[in-house]
Structure 1
Amino acid sequence: MRYETKRLKSSIRLALMTVIAALPMTVFAAADEPEVYDLEEVEVVGEHMAAASGESEQPSVYAGGQIARTSHLGVLGERDFMDVPFNVTTFNKDMMENKQATSVVDIITNDASVSDQTLSGASQAWYIRGFKSQQQDVQFNGLYGVAPRFYAGVEGLERVELLKGPGALLGGMAPNGSVGGVINFIPKRAEGNKTSVTLAYGNKHQFSQHIDTSFRS
């Protein structure tokens, strides 16, 4: 029985070799040399080229041009609001000019989660998500204790950043313990040689004016 099994295996092997030998053979010719093309020169401009050339690098803006996409988030640095697990809204200077804002409350109350609770012209207060906050808990470039403590105009600001929810992890605990959110002021920076004059008229025959001047060498 063992001898017949060996003969059967040898017969199958011989048949397979015969079939393989009968198959047509295809010979592939060597590939031709690849053609060489000359590409046109392409200039690549980085995101920080504007800052290197002396121009102010502005944050990208959301649809409408009044909300900036990037915000200063403390230890995380400058981040796009789509890349962080925080609810943050950043109003830029175009928003302030279009709204003719005179104080920070005129800006942040454009967010539905903020309500004005100011009782006097000397000190400002507001609610963020139902929690009270005030001028003393405002950051300036991410730092507490630098922004004005009572009334804050917006003439010298580039952006007003509104972080909704606790922000102690990013910039430390607020001096007065505000937990509803954090307001951060980003000051203006020189945008080349520019001079602008703004005149305003308010209630009870109140006139005001300010001059905005910047120079870069």
Structure 2
Amino acid sequence: MKLKLIYTSVVVAIGATNIAFAADRVEPNERAIQLDTLSVTASADASAEGLSSAFAGGQVAKGGRAGILGTKDNLDTPFSITSYTNEFIQDRQAQSVGDVLKNDPTVRVARGFGNFQESYFIRGFILNSDDVAYNGLYSLLPRQYIATELFERVEVLRGASAFLTGANPNGGGIGGAINLLPKRAPNYDLNRITLGASINDERNGSADIARRFGDNDEFGVRINAAHHNGGTSIDDEQAELNLFNIGLDYQGERLRLSADLGYQNHQLDHSRTNLRLMSQVTKVPSTPNASENWAQPWSYSDEK
């Protein structure tokens, strides 16, 4: 009998506890607060706006730098802008700005008149490689040949651009403007080694390494190095490229800083120049052999 009374007391005590808990319980909907949706995005760009996100497939971005208007989505501006991403550059195995823009239907790539620089014809109007901007600034890039290891994205703005990007050094830009975005350390460790060879006996190798440091990963370092050497698509023409570039950035709560230091040496031997058809030509000549080299064996270009 004594054991039975004790057991009954325990059961009653437990039941009372459950009843008290149920009485104090608050319904979830009585004090729930609906929070606004918070979107968090990561960017490899040191600016406050960051890089525009890419479309599905990662080949082109949803927007780009619209000059003094800043970074804008394509649907928010009345301008025609295409931003080719680094993934696009890697997939196409592009080695220069010209290799990237050959995929743009509004741009034709050729060598300059009487020299060996890349020239870009946007909507039929020439834009020399001297007039390509680097993060919105002119006269910072190599004059004749710009290797892809130096930049993250290629942005093409079609149409008159001086009112957005300012006048370029040679006063061109009638058909459009080209802006290159520098490489920055992403929010993850990057170790990329690329090796290649071609049927023209060309051999190339490049390295892309990035790290972030600090308590909040506020300091970033990205290093790029490349070496290309061998023949080209033109008979007997030889090309060699040596490149080194380092990009530094600081991303603080109230301050953002970035700096770039680069070196490029591009050499051409037995280099073929372009020919121009003058007004004295009265009929269209037959199509020449694209690989034929009419240059003198001693011709060369050494650009640093």
Structure with more of its chain in helix, by fraction: 1
Aligned in 2, Cα 1:189/1:131: closer, same or farther, shift over 3 Å? same
Closer, same or farther: CA 111–188 of 1 in aligned 2, 3 Å: same
Q: How does 1:77-96 map to 2 (within 5 A)?
A: 77-96=70-89
Cα distance change on mapping 1:161 and 1:197 into 2, 3 Å: same
Give, in whole Å, the separation in 2 of the partners of 1:128 and 1:189.
28
- Local SS of the residue matching 1:61: coil
1:183 to 160, 178, 184: 178
Deviation at 1:116, TM superposition (A): 1.5
Higher strand share: 2
CA deviations 1:74-107 (Å, max 9, x no partner) are: 2111111110111111000010011010111111
Query: Does the residue aligned with 1:96 lie in a helix, a strand or coil?
Result: helix
What is the one-letter code of the residue matched to 2:151? L
- CA distance change for structure 1 residues 73 and 132 in 2, over 3 Å: closer, same or farther? same
Aligned counterpart, 1:199: 195
**Using a 3 Å threshold, how does the CA distance of structure 1 residues 130 and 167 change in structure 2: closer, same or farther?**
same
Structure 2 partner of 1:124: 118
RCO higher in 1 or 2 (8 Å CA, sep ≥ 6)? 1
Q: Distance in 2 between matches of 1:153 and 1:165?
A: 25
SS of the residue 1:68 aligns to: coil
Deviation per residue, 1:125-150 (Å, 9 max, x gap):
12110111110110000111112211
Cα distance in 2 between the residues matched to 1:78 and 1:39: 37
Selected match of 1:211 from 187, 207, 217: 207
User: Partner letter of residue 167 of structure 2?
Assistant: M
Select 1:159's aligned residue among 153, 160, 182: 153
Question: Contact 1:73–1:142 (CA<8 Å) still a contact in 2?
Answer: no
1:203 positional shift: 4.2
Check if 1:136 corresponds to 2:130: yes
Partner AA of 1:187 in structure 2: P
Shift of 1:41: 7.2
In 2, the alpha carbon distance for the partners of 1:43 and 1:170 equals 35
Q: 4+ residue runs of structure 1 moved beyond 4 angstroms?
A: 40-44
Match of 1:66 in 2: 59
Q: Which residue identity lines up with residue 117 of structure 1 in the other structure?
A: A
Q: Does 1:39 align with 2:32?
A: yes
Distance in 2 between residues matched to 1:156 and 1:43, nearest whole Å: 40
Mark the CA change 1:121 to 1:64 in structure 2 (over 3 Å): closer, same or farther: farther
Checking the alignment, whether the CA contact within 8 Å between 1:88 and 1:164 is kept in structure 2 is yes
Deviation at 1:40, TM superposition (A): 7.0
SS of 2:191's partner is strand
RMSD (Å) for aligned C-alpha atoms: 2.4
Q: Note the residue ranges of structure 2 that are not aligned, 5 or more in a row.
A: 1-28, 214-304
Cα shift at 1:215: 0.6
Higher mean alpha-carbon deviation, 113-122 vs 157-166, is at: 113-122
TM-score normalised over the length of structure 2: 0.54
Q: Equivalent residue of 2:152, what SS?
A: strand
Residues 52 and 73 in structure 2, CA contact (< 8 A), matched pair in contact too: no
Please tell me the residue identity of whatever aligns with 2:141: A
